[in-house]
Amino acid sequence: MKAFDTLTYRGQLHRLRQLAHSALEQYAVPKPRLVALQHEANTTFRVLAADHQQYVMRIHRPDGHTLAAIRSEVSWLRALRQDTALGVPDPVLTRDGSLLTVAAVPGMPEPRTCVLFRWLAGRFVDERLTPRHLERIGVLTAQLHEHTAHWQSPSDFVRGRVDTITAEARRALWCPSPLVSSSPTLYPADEDVTRTLALVCDHCSPQDAAILARTIEQIRAVFQELGEGKDVLGLIHADLHQENYFFQEGMPRVIDFDDCGWGHYLFDLTVTLRELAHLPQYPQLRAALLRGYRTIRPFPEQHEAYLETFFALRRIQLLIWVIESREHPAFRAGWAEWARNDLHELAQFLARL
């Protein structure tokens, strides 16, 4: 049997489908049929049950979140479902009441953590987004932030910082107490920056690493100006781009909380806006998103000036993610071009300072 990491995209998906079926044995889902949705960092399947119920099975990558971090994500989602009327995923418990399960099958090099959610209906609007859509996304984002600002998380709740860059740094876990420190750690942390620059130097060039070093200096300066008070930093979704929100009867719904963690509230707005910057109606969409947000929570005009720097942080994160994922079958052929485009955009960011 071939090693899993040498298989094609289709070959890996075939084995992961077998693992998903094994995981589903822990749930009260009759005669499930699976439809592949995505296989990149994590792998997801749409689950069609014989009783006409539908679900999403997420299979976590082996080098990703710990069991404690995944349980924490699911516990936040359960709290959101209980405390609010927001359209977010509804986790399904296993037969024994667990928030997740761990499955293993022959041909997979290690067990995988799996989580099941009820299917959340709705439609993506893609480039047909209107300012009205974005205003509602702004309202929803602010409502998420309001919830986390007042929610008393469980004592064992742990998630990472969303302003980390490398995979190793993302695995470091945090509980709420560090957020109120009078002398917060500088982010991105020194070790994270060192690994970042080494990756770019080794797989791109020393000149490209110098671009990142200058950009990170600017990011750190903005972070110091913002501070880490409870009014600006908390538990956030951290991946609110167009593939993670859609609409049902005009109301927004948000999925994929896998990247949720501790970070500046501004980061959520940054992710949403960065994915829309290429659209001709971007100025109107941006104004609508912030207008909607401000109906629920304050957003100082001064913070708008920080958006470009947060855009640069997000671009660095995606650059390092694709370099670290270069052996994945979904990225083997195109990672270098992706990296080159991101480095070009970062150079332009520095030129505008």
pLDDT tens for each residue of 5-22: 899 999 999 999 999 999
Percentage of residues of the chain with pLDDT beyond 90: 86
- Whether 185 has a pLDDT exceeding 80, the answer reads no
Query: What is the largest distance, in Å, between two alpha-carbon atoms of the chain?
Result: 59
Structure tokens at 12: 């890996």
Residue 87 bridge partners (DSSP): 253
More confident residue, 330 or 324: 324
Residue 318, Cβ density class (10 Å: 0-12 exposed, 13-18 middle, ≥19 buried):
middle
- Whether 67 has a pLDDT exceeding 70, the answer reads yes
Architecture, CATH, for domain 126-352:
Alpha-Beta Complex (3.90)
Question: Among 48-62, 163-177, 184-198, 331-345, whose mean pLDDT is lowest?
Answer: 163-177
Q: What are phi and psi of 42, to 5 degrees?
A: -95, 175
Tell me, what's the pLDDT at 184?
56
pLDDT band at 232 (very low <50, low <70, confident <90, very high): very high
Q: What are phi and psi of 69, to 5 degrees?
A: -70, -40
Contact predicate 132/288, CB 8 Å: yes
Distance CA 106, CA 1 (A): 9
Model-wide pTM > 0.75: yes
Tell me, what's the pLDDT at 353?
87
Tell me, what's the pLDDT at 80?
98
Mean pLDDT (whole number) for 58-67: 93
Structure tokens at 313: 């942080």
pLDDT tens for each residue of 171-183: 888 765 444 444 5
**DSSP class of residue 184?**
P
Residue 340 to residues 69, 109, 148, 322, 324, Cα–Cα distance (Å): 33, 32, 37, 11, 14
Structure tokens at 181: 């420190």
Mean pLDDT (whole number) for 25-29: 98
Tell me, what's the pLDDT at 176?
55
Which H or E run contains 251?
strand 251-254
Identify the three-state secondary structure at position 149: helix
* Class of domain 4-118 (CATH, top level): alpha beta
Tell me, what's the pLDDT at 175?
66
Structure tokens at 208: 């490209």
Tell me, what's the pLDDT at 179?
47
Distance CA 265, CA 50 (A): 41
- What are the boundaries of each domain within the chain? 4-118, 126-352
- Whether 105 has a pLDDT exceeding 90, the answer reads yes
Tell me, what's the pLDDT at 63?
85
Which H or E run contains 261?
strand 261-264
Distance CA 266, CA 236 (A): 9
Distance CA 70, CA 68 (A): 6
pLDDT tens for each residue of 158-167: 999 999 999 8
